[in-house]
Amino acid sequence: QKEVEQDPGPLSVPEGAIVSLNCTYSNSAFQYFMWYRQYSRKGPELLMYTYSSGNKEDGRFTAQVDKSSKYISLFIRDSQPSDSATYLCATVRGSSNTGKLIFGQGTTLQVKP
């Protein structure tokens, strides 16, 4: 079983739609959760990170962690064509300062004008 699982998609939505991207993880000890966005032919860029359970909002983006079900989500409101990218969820195995980033496979999102 992979430590972090993510549906690779692709996911195609019309402009203005609400997008929901999801990951599941296997180890209840994971505490830190990140979402990265990767445009074509670019490196991943950190979008948001959260600690433990709950929600975190940043503009049109909301990250949500449900530790009871080992489920993490990224919601994008009023999606734009510029949001078209691959979104990777990640967590840290081990402590925050010595651990290892574990990534999901990435979900490819296309927002059509």
Least distance (Å) from another protein to the CB of residue 32?
5
Interface with another protein, residue 42, by CB under 8 A:
yes
Using the minimum distance from each CB to another protein, give the nearer residue, 69 or 96. Answer: 96
1, 29, 43, 69: which one contacts another protein (CB under 8 A)? 43
Instruction: Please tell me whether the peptide bond between 10 and the residue prior to it is cis, using omega within 30 degrees of 0.
Output: yes
**Segment 72 to 91, residues that bind another protein, using CB under 8 A:** 88, 90
14, 28, 41, 68: which one contacts another protein (CB under 8 A)? 41
Angle (nearest 5°) at CA 60 between 7 and 112: 60
Binding site for another protein (CB under 8 A): 2, 4, 8, 32-34, 36, 41-46, 49, 51, 88, 90, 92, 96-106
